[in-house]
């Protein structure tokens, strides 16, 4: 990945949107999902393999502040945030390598499993995302 810092920052903001889309697909973000997002961001998304043009702190802030803001703001729903992520993805296809796509799917899978396993709406959204990421 050889993208500028602004695009990289927007990528991480869009991950926050995507993570919110999965946490809120059942119209209710649970505390376990919030904790899972925080843990998974630190575990998977702050490595040098993922970040190359902005600091780890900026990447973490971009994801978590976007996610937190969406949790507090009732103007956005799961579908709107998912669609925004997909729009970003389609405009920045080169960013979405196989390893990044795998990490995205792994992360959202763990977010959805963090509270009582995966429900039907989460599984449908996972399948939809998986198909979209394979299009690249």
This prediction has a pTM of 0.93
What CA–CA distance (Å, rounded) separates 114 from 108? 10
pLDDT one-digit tens code per residue, 65-116: 999 999 998 788 999 999 999 999 999 998 899 999 999 999 999 999 887 7
Which tokens go with 100? Answer: 């990044």
pLDDT one-digit tens code per residue, 109-131: 999 988 777 788 989 999 999 99
Cα atoms in the 13 Å half-sphere on the side-chain side of 11: 27
Query: 38: burial class by Cβ within 10 Å (0-12, 13-18, 19+)?
Result: middle
Which tokens go with 70? Answer: 């969406």
The residue whose two tokens read 């902005």 is 54
């Amino acid at each position: 990945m050889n993208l500028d810092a602004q695009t990289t920052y927007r990528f991480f903001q869009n991950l926050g949107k995507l993570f919110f889309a999965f946490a809120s697909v059942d119209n209710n973000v649970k505390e376990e999902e919030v904790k899972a997002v925080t843990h998974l961001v630190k575990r998977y998304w702050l490595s040098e393999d993922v970040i190359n043009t902005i600091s780890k702190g900026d990447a973490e802030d971009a994801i978590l502040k976007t996610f937190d803001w969406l949790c507090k703001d009732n103007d956005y729903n799961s579908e709107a945030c998912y669609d925004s992520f997909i729009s970003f993805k389609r405009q920045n296809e080169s960013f979405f390598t196989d390893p990044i796509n795998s990490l995205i799917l792994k992360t959202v899978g763990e977010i959805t499993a963090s509270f009582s396993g995966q429900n039907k709406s989460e599984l449908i959204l996972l399948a939809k995302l998986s198909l979209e990421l394979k299009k690249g």
